[in-house]
Homo-oligomer: A and B are copies of this chain.
Amino acid sequence: MMSETELIARFFRGLGAQRDDVVLGIGDDAALLRVAADHELVLTTDALVEGVHFLPGAPASSLGHRALAVNLSDIAAMGAEARWALLSLNLPQAEEQWLTAFAQGFGALARRHAVALVGGNVSRGPLSITVQMAGVVPAGGALRRDGARPGQLLFVSGSVGDAAAGLKLLRGELQAPAAAANFLQQRFEYPQPRLELGAALRGVASACIDVSDGLYVDAARLLRASDCGARIALEALPLSPALRQAEGDAAWQRALEGGEDYELCFSAPRDRLDAVAIAAARAATAVTRIGVIEAGQGLELESGNSLTQFSPLGFDHFRD
């Protein structure tokens, strides 16, 4: 049986990118890192718990990817650059095959975004994965939730609702043709955090949040922080062909309330529409204008000429 030290040395040391700003990585009491003087430090943490955020038996490679991706997405939503990750793993047992696949999923995504794994710990316990991400952003340049103003436009990246449909497929609660099913499951198991887009939106977006709990719930959070309301056009929601195929008439509802997409929802002034398009092109990420920020509170949904009522079932572990 491996010790924790052996296990970390074998599967996690040197995982991810090699970075010059890592003075001291895994192996001491803490990591030592360099932050440039004109930058602010950005810190976030998020966890995946078996039975809550993933199904028992979920592929380890996907878990390694998602545990990092959900944190990278928070960094992206701040318009920041991801740099250093810490990993806390609670494992029922140390299975070599599982650990190899987990490290592969984590490591591949980390290298893609130049993130170094600089510390962590492994404990015996019910399976859960907690990652902490540290990044940097030019001082004063971060995208916050509270900068939306009435009259500005509301956008979302990529397509929404896919990951929730992918999870339903994995649970056997939904059927779809193989190609569509494959696409949707990939969207759930290997979400792509929008770091390039977040960075490109610095100086362009007025507020930004990542869509982790569903577009309706997360847009409402951005609006609440900004003390504004918004009107969203249902027909404008970016739905993937696979989602339309799998969900039919329920696709727009999945797009509003389905979580785990890790797209960015953001606002920008009308006169920055061109700048938004340039940012999207530079990041090679689709961006769709879905509505307009309004004075007041709440989120109105517009369909054709009528307003639609909607009570979202946003993802919240402590709400029954």
Contact = CB atoms under 8 A, between A and B. Distances in A.
A123 B74 CA distance: 17
Given A123-B49, A318-B2, A33 B43 contact: yes
Q: How many copies does the complex hold?
A: 2
Of A28, A31, A118, which is in contact with the most chain B CB atoms at under 10 Å from its CB?
Answer: A28
Interface string A121-137: 11111101010111101
Interface string A190-220: 0000000000000000001110000000000
Contacts of A27: 145, 225
A70 to B, nearest CB: 10
A42 interface: yes
A237 interface: no
A86 interface: yes
Interface string A49-85: 1111100000000000000000000110110100010
Contacts of A319: 1-3
Contact of A119 (B44, B50, B75): B44
Interface residues of A, number: 74
Contact of A43 (B74, B90, B134): B134
Contacts of A124: 49, 52, 317-318
A63 to B, nearest CB: 14
A47 to B, nearest CB: 5
Interface string A260-271: 000000000000
Contacts of A121: 45-47
A144 B36 CA distance: 22
A116 B244 CA distance: 46
Contacts of A45: 86-88, 119-121, 130, 132
Nearest to A123: B49
A145 B47 contact: no
Contact of A32 (B3, B40, B118): B40
19 contacts: A4-B317, A4-B318, A5-B316, A29-B75, A29-B208, A30-B74, A30-B77, A32-B42, A33-B42, A41-B134, A43-B86, A43-B134, A45-B119, A45-B132, A47-B130, A49-B125, A51-B125, A52-B124, A123-B128
